[in-house]
């Protein structure tokens, strides 16, 4: 029976739609290249257009292999939404195209689960390309010209962010332990319970907070490393299966940072001679991570546990040596001082002035202590 008398083959229909989408993408990138005055962006957009045309060519070839016709249709047009967004600013159009590329990735991955193995292989291959295109568009849209971008690049290369691992765990652990146990003691004291019971409650709260914080820090650090390992394995597979595409991707990243295409290609060619170095650079540029910057699970756990215990001990210690109202008042005073010190230490991992951060933490301590004391008092009266 002639094909014209049969129902359309779903895979043929889907691949024709994919072909039209890729051709529309190529047309859109070329149109945007004409709109920009930035020669680097123009060249990158032209490269993306050529990439979309290669994708369209693969779909055309696959359609013929499956018995379909050479895809044709009206000349592809730039979507009206892209034209409107571009008039409002190039970045708006680039962000919209980034979202479009990510939508293509999801659609290709969904199709790969439905169609034959050979078509699925092409779909997964092009989905990786589209994901890389989305990353390049995101970088282009997020660029800030001039000294701002240079400063951000310099700061990103420093280890300031990474050094927040164990030190950050320690500071925030002390903050958590002090705040939680101070609130607990204030609440129990508000209920007019004797000092011995307050001491027991404080010690139990301190132990629970320290163990909980340490376990949380361990699991968070371990999960971060597991995600890194999975992403690294994915990049390693892409280098093995699609080395040319990974080189092109890294070249685009360098062009966005100011290199010419020739300079970027030369740099990438040198880097790619060493596969381990190539993988490390790709992970840093594409994922923004390096293995040495990752936290160590046990280091995070120990620092978080000990610091939480140290912070939690501050409001408890007065009840070891004192009792009654005197112990409560001393605990309140030393706890608020502790809040100020911990807040000031937070300035080591933030950009805020130490005194501002310290006063903020003290105010929070007053609020926590006041609220829990009132709640404890009301519960004690009701009991």
The pLDDT tens digits for 25-61 are 999 999 999 998 888 888 889 999 999 999 999 999 9
In a domain, 247, yes or no: yes
- Residues 167 and 298 sit within 8 Å (Cβ to Cβ): no
In a domain, 88, yes or no: yes
Same domain, 29 and 102: yes
Asked if residue 285 has pLDDT above 50, the reply is: yes
Q: Report the domain count for the chain.
A: 2
Torsion of CA 356, 361, 365, 367, to 10 degrees: 70
pLDDT for the residue 382 = 61
Contacts of residue 60, Cβ cutoff 8 Å, sequence gap at least 6:
19, 70, 71
Confidence of residue 359 (pLDDT cuts 50, 70, 90): very high
Last residue within a domain, chosen from 108, 143, 178: 143
In a domain, 74, yes or no: yes
Same domain, 218 and 339: yes
In a domain, 2, yes or no: no
Residues spanned by the domain of 275: 164-382
Same domain, 92 and 211: no
Same domain, 243 and 295: yes
Poorest-confidence range of 11-15, 217-221, 225-229, 269-273? 225-229
Same domain, 193 and 98: no
Same domain, 277 and 332: yes
pLDDT for the residue 157 = 40
In a domain, 318, yes or no: yes
- Cβ burial, residue 7 (10 Å; 0-12/13-18/19+): exposed
Last residue within a domain, chosen from 112, 143, 174: 143
In a domain, 20, yes or no: yes
Same domain, 102 and 216: no
Structure tokens of 321? 């040596």
The pLDDT tens digits for 150-175 are 334 333 443 333 434 556 667 778 88
- Residues 357 and 341 sit within 8 Å (Cβ to Cβ): no
Same domain, 62 and 179: no
The C-alpha atoms of residue 112 and residue 121 are separated, in whole angstroms, by 7
Same domain, 266 and 315: yes
Q: How far is CA 89 from CA 36, 83, 112, 137, in A?
A: 10, 10, 35, 14
In a domain, 153, yes or no: no
What's the pTM? 0.53
Same domain, 192 and 334: yes
Same domain, 169 and 200: yes
CATH number for the domain that contains residue 45: 1.20.1260.10
Structure tokens of 204? 């139990």
Last residue within a domain, chosen from 110, 143, 176: 143
- Residues 89 and 96 sit within 8 Å (Cβ to Cβ): no
The C-alpha atoms of residue 255 and residue 30 are separated, in whole angstroms, by 18
In a domain, 149, yes or no: no
Same domain, 66 and 122: yes
Structure tokens of 300? 């995070």
Torsion of CA 89, 108, 78, 92, to 10 degrees: -10
């Amino acid at each position: 029976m002639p094909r014209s008398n049969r129902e359309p083959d779903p895979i043929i229909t889907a691949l024709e739609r994919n072909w039209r989408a890729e051709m529309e993408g190529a047309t859109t990138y070329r149109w945007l290249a004409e709109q920009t005055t930035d020669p680097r962006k123009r060249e990158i957009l032209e490269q993306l257009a050529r990439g979309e045309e290669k994708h369209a060519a693969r779909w055309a070839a696959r359609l013929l292999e499956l018995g379909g016709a050479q895809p044709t249709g009206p000349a592809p047009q730039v979507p009206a939404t892209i034209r409107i967004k571009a008039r409002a600013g190039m970045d708006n159009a680039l962000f919209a195209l980034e979202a479009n590329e990510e939508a293509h990735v999801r659609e290709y991955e969904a199709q790969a689960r439905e169609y034959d193995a050979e078509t699925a292989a092409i779909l997964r291959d092009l989905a990786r390309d589209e994901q890389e295109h989305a990353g390049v568009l995101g970088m282009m849209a997020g660029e800030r010209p001039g000294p701002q971008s240079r400063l951000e690049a310099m700061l990103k290369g420093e280890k300031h962010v990474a050094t927040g691992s164990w030190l950050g765990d320690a500071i925030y652990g002390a903050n958590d332990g002090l705040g939680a146990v101070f609130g607990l003691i204030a609440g129990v004291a508000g209920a007019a319970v004797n000092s011995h019971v307050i001491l027991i409650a404080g010690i139990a709260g301190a132990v629970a907070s320290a163990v909980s914080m340490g376990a949380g820090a361990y699991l968070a650090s371990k999960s971060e490393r597991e995600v890194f390992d999975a992403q690294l394995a994915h990049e390693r597979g892409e280098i093995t299966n699609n080395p040319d595409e990974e080189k092109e991707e890294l070249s685009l990243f360098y062009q966005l940072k100011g290199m010419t295409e020739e300079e970027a290609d030369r740099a990438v060619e040198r880097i790619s001679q060493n596969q381990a170095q190539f993988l490390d650079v790709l992970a840093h540029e594409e994922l923004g991570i390096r293995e040495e910057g990752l936290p160590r699970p046990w280091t995070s756990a120990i620092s978080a546990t000990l610091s939480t215990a140290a912070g939690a001990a501050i409001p408890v210690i007065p009840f070891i040596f004192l009792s009654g109202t005197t112990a409560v008042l001393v605990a309140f005073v030393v706890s608020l001082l502790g809040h100020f010190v911990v807040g000031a230490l937070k300035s080591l991992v933030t950009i805020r002035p130490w005194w501002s951060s310290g006063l903020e933490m003290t105010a929070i301590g007053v609020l926590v202590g006041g609220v829990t004391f009132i709640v404890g008092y009301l519960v004690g009266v009701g009991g």
